Amino acid sequence: MKVMAFNGSSRKTWNTATLLNKALEGAASQGAETDLIHLCDLHYSGCKSCFACKLKGGASYGKCAAKDELTPILAKIKDVDAIILGSPNYIGSPTGAAKAFFERLIFPYIVYDASFSTLFTKSIRTGFIYTMSSNDDWMKQMGYEQPAKFIEQVMGMVFGMCELLIVNDTDQFDDYSKYVTTRFDPVAKAKRRAEVFPDDCKKAFEMGVRLSQHK
């Protein structure tokens, strides 16, 4: 059992990375081999719309033709048993790094037929962990959960299933007094970090357990 996780945040030790590590701990508890890739360490671009992945008889049919530091990572995915993507919400959507990765990961497998069938050759489990500083009310008011639900839907369509975990009202800073953040209550943030985030970490761990139990 191999499980790969991809951190779409440039912060390697903060909310998204912490939750991804917890998910991988859950997978490892079931005997899975795990790997966490920080996308910020790689130099790559998003989809260039060259359509080489859809060219009849083409050398790159069903795979991305772009050559950069993401290329060998994408090649490994055909051999894994589960994938977990994590990203914070940046102005209403996943980060640019996460979006570019998602484009390169997903588009080559999608067939332009009536049912948008998939060229991925097996069914694997996938997960998406989406973090944000907004609370429940603001998330729903702004529709911030919609991009996450779209990714959940498309990942499920291509790979067979996807599990979504949205973790909101997270901390952005160690010390809110150093920044202009009058929208947020630092005391309430600290309380939630102490009381709720550990439960979020538990949910991520349990996600990793479930994803690694797929046969």
One digit per residue, the tens of pLDDT, for the chain of length 215 reads 999 999 999 999 999 999 999 999 999 999 999 999 999 999 999 999 999 999 999 999 999 999 999 999 999 998 999 999 999 999 899 999 999 999 999 999 999 998 889 999 899 999 999 999 888 898 899 999 999 999 999 999 999 999 999 999 998 888 888 989 888 888 988 898 899 999 999 999 999 999 998 55
What whole-number distance in Å separates Cα of residue 17 and Cα of residue 8? 9
Any idea what DSSP says for residue 162?
A: E
Cβ(150)–Cβ(139) under 8 Å? no
The pTM score is 0.93
**Segment 96-139, tens digit of pLDDT:** 999 999 999 999 999 999 888 999 989 999 999 999 988 889 88
Contacting residues for 58 by C-beta, under 8 A, at least 6 apart: 52
Burial of 72 (0-12, 13-18, 19+ CB in 10 A): exposed
All structural domains of the chain:
2-212 (3.40.50.360)
Of 166, 172, 7, which is closest to residue 87 (Cα–Cα)?
7
Contacting residues for 60 by C-beta, under 8 A, at least 6 apart: 52, 53, 108
